[in-house]
Each structure stands twice: as C-alpha cells, then as structure tokens.
Amino acid sequence: MTSIYLDHNATTALDSRVLDAMLPWMRGQSGNPTSRHIFGRSARAAIEHARAQVAEACGAYTSQVVFTASGTEANNFAVKGITANQTAAQVLYSAIEHPCVSRPALSLQQHGWQSRAVAVDHHGLVDTAQLKSLLEAPTGLVSVMLANNETGVIQDIAAIAEMAKRAGAFMHTDAVQGLGKLALDFTGLNVHAMTISSHKIHGPQGAAALVLDKRVDIQPLLHGGGQERGLRSGTENVAAIVGFGMACELAVANLNNFTAHTKALRDQFEQGLKSLGVTIFSNKAARIPNTSFFAVDGIEGETLVVALDRKGFAVASGSACSSDSTEPSHVLLAMGVNPDLARGAVRVSFGTQNTAAQVAELLHALQNEVLRLKQLTGMAA
C-alpha cells in the first residue's frame, strides 16, 4: 500500500532540483567559507548567492538575512537576542504561538522580564483591543506569528506591528508557515524581525533564517568565529544554505500555482467534511490555502490519525513539534474550543503533488473510519 502524504505543514519532501543544487557541495571538496583559497571563496560565493535568493523570496535586502540551523533557533534568537540589550520590561506574544516563541519568552522571567500571552478570538485572530491595553505598560518585544501552523489563520501583522512600534516595542513575526504560501514582503509587514525556514518549502532540513532590520541591536545566541556578521557563529552548512536558496527561488515561481491548486483541494475536502458533521476550525477567517483543521466530536484526534495512517493517509493531530503531547491543542484552547472537542483535532495540509482523486479517497476513508470508531464507542445513532 502506498501512503499519501497530507502533512506538508510539518515538513516537505526535498525537491529534486534543490538536491541537484546541493550535491556539488556534498560530493566534492567544499572549502570552509572563511578560507581565503579558491575552495573557500567558492563556498562563500555560493552562500551569498543563496542569501540573495532568500532575500528575494521575502522582500528583504541580502544584508538583512541571517542564516540559522532551524526556525526554532531563529525564533529563540529573535526573542532572547532582541531583549538581551534592553532594560527588563514585558514581552508579549500571542496565545497561539509555537512553543519555540512562547517558551523563550517565558524563560525571560528569570531575567526580570514579564511575559504575557495576548488572547485571540474564536476565529484565532489576535485580540487587538487587549494588545492595545497591554502595550500601555513598557514593552520590549511583541511576537505574533504570520500564519498559524495548526489552523492556518493569517494575522494582520502590519497593523499589529504598527501598534507595537507606537508603543516603543520591537516587533517579530514567525513567518515559517507563510513562506511559499503567501507573497512575503518584509518591509510591508512592518516588522523588525521575521523567521523563515527551508524544510517547509521543499528545501533541506537544517537551514533557516532570521530576517532582521539592521537597526535592531540584537545579542547573538552563539559566540565563536563571528560568522553571519558576528550574529550567528559556526561554520556555515553550505549545502543546506544553497538548497534553501534554490527552494526559495522555486517557491516564488510556484506561488500562484500552489495557492490555486491547494485551495481547490481544501475546498473539495471541506465540502466533503460537511456531510460528516465535523467542526472545521477557523474556516470563517483568512487562512493559508493548503490547511484544514477539523474535529469529529467524541473521537480522539490521535485515534483518527492512527486509523487513517493504517489506511494509507498521513495526516496530523496538530503541531509536529508537539505531537508527543496528550494535551489538547493550545491553539484551540486559546480560541475557546471545548477541551473534549479540541482533543479530536486533526490537521490536513495539502501540497502541489496531491490530487483531487486523493482527496476523494481520503474522504471515503475518513467516512468509513469515523463510522467504525463511533460504532466501537457506542456512538452510532
């Protein structure tokens, strides 16, 4: 049985064209990018070409792109690095942030900071009235993700950033789920820092970036040889960075096709879900086009994920980084969803390789599994 992959928000397959760009830096003698000889100079040139590709993909200047090893590192870098050179005040983050933003924010309490989560409404949109109220207290940093990894909901980051700036705070956005799914414009988003990651756009794992306004005084997380303008020490992963650059170039070229194709699949899928009587979360809000988050009342999400996996469909019960947790989605709880219903949450995230025929197969399997599981639990009418 061939499994059908429907978990593209967690990670994506490496594009063959990306691999082709990487292979010369994996097979041949690659110099250290800081070396002065021809091998080192070639590696440095490859990194700078990739930096230009990444910058182009998110509407930034090359000098604003700082390479890291992961989105988690970039988010930690933003939260800890921007606050490190400030007098302790408060850091604000939305209640639906990924743990790699919320946990670094909470860790700042050890250094005299106050960390507060900003509420969201039942659609998953940030409560700007509460944010405005919280910003009346001295604030060093506000972090709000551009697109949620579970619901797919898109925030009005430019407006939120304007509120933060007026209050004298720096603004960071985790745009990991936005890259390749939305037309990113670092300047237009009005932020001081933005996180993006390679493996969400068919690039290699192990490469990401913090896009950073050059006027921001930020403290490095890693000290050493002074790579990345002294902001991220450590010998660069040339092959991964080259792959990241190529993946960004391809993502920009494919954006319109991705949007149209995955939205059509999601519309087909959610139309089919209606006959199953499921709850579709955040379907009244603007979302990235490939994401559907739903629940069947009375059926655990993990149970349904395992059942579908046995039928050949790879879906998720929430964030991949929190998949070992038995707690309900913190995103849904923040939205006011009943914990019992939240435990039933399942996420389907489509890619350009998925087809309408696969969606039809998924709906058929889902209908059968829901009926079977309800019968097992005595829920069938």
Q: Is the dihedral of CA 333, 335, 337, 343 positive or negative?
A: negative
pLDDT tops 80 at residue 323: no
Given the residues 58, 100, 248, 321, the one annotated as active site: 321
| Distance of alpha carbon 235 from alpha carbon 21, whole angstroms | 20
pLDDT tops 50 at residue 376: yes
Find the range with the poorest average confidence among 187-196, 269-278, 305-314, 317-326: 317-326
Q: 3-state class of 8 per DSSP? A: coil
Number of continuous H segments (helices) and E segments (strands) in the chain: 13, 12
Q: What per-residue confidence (pLDDT) applies to 379?
A: 55
Q: Write the pLDDT tens digit of every residue in 136-174.
A: 999 999 999 999 999 999 999 999 999 999 999 999 999
Q: Write the pLDDT tens digit of every residue in 238-257.
A: 999 999 999 999 999 999 99
Q: Is 321 a catalytic residue?
A: yes
User: Sorting pLDDT into bands at 50, 70 and 90, what band is 2?
Assistant: confident
Across the range 295-303, mean pLDDT stands at 94
Q: 3-state class of 139 per DSSP? A: strand
The percent of residues above 70 in pLDDT, for the chain, comes to 97
HEC letters along 316-347? ECCCHHHCCCCCCCHHHHHCCCCHHHHCCEEE
| Distance of alpha carbon 35 from alpha carbon 12, whole angstroms | 33
pTM of the predicted protein model:
0.95
Q: What per-residue confidence (pLDDT) applies to 380?
A: 47
Q: What per-residue confidence (pLDDT) applies to 67?
A: 98
pLDDT tops 80 at residue 291: yes
User: Sorting pLDDT into bands at 50, 70 and 90, what band is 381?
Assistant: very low
Q: What per-residue confidence (pLDDT) applies to 131?
A: 98
| Distance of alpha carbon 332 from alpha carbon 335, whole angstroms | 5
Q: What per-residue confidence (pLDDT) applies to 1?
A: 72
Q: Which amino acid is at 53?
A: Q
Q: Are strands 345-349 and 291-295 parallel, antiparallel or unpaired?
A: antiparallel
pLDDT tops 70 at residue 268: yes
Contact between 118 and 143 (Cβ < 8 Å): no
User: Sorting pLDDT into bands at 50, 70 and 90, what band is 375?
Assistant: confident
Across the range 226-230, mean pLDDT stands at 96
Contact between 343 and 333 (Cβ < 8 Å): no
User: Sorting pLDDT into bands at 50, 70 and 90, what band is 326?
Assistant: low
Residue 296 CB-density burial (10 A; 0-12 exposed, 13-18 middle, 19+ buried): buried
Measuring CA to CA, which residue among 221, 184, 235, 178 is closest to residue 72? 221
Domain residue spans of the chain: 4-11+255-376, 16-249
Measuring CA to CA, which residue among 296, 293, 302, 294 is closest to residue 326? 302
pLDDT tops 80 at residue 349: yes
CATH number of 4-11+255-376: 3.90.1150.10
Across the range 55-78, mean pLDDT stands at 98
Q: Which CATH number fits domain 16-249: 1.20.1070.10, 3.40.190.10, 3.90.1150.10, 3.40.640.10?
A: 3.40.640.10
Q: 3-state class of 366 per DSSP? A: helix
Q: Write the pLDDT tens digit of every residue in 99-112.
A: 999 999 999 999 99
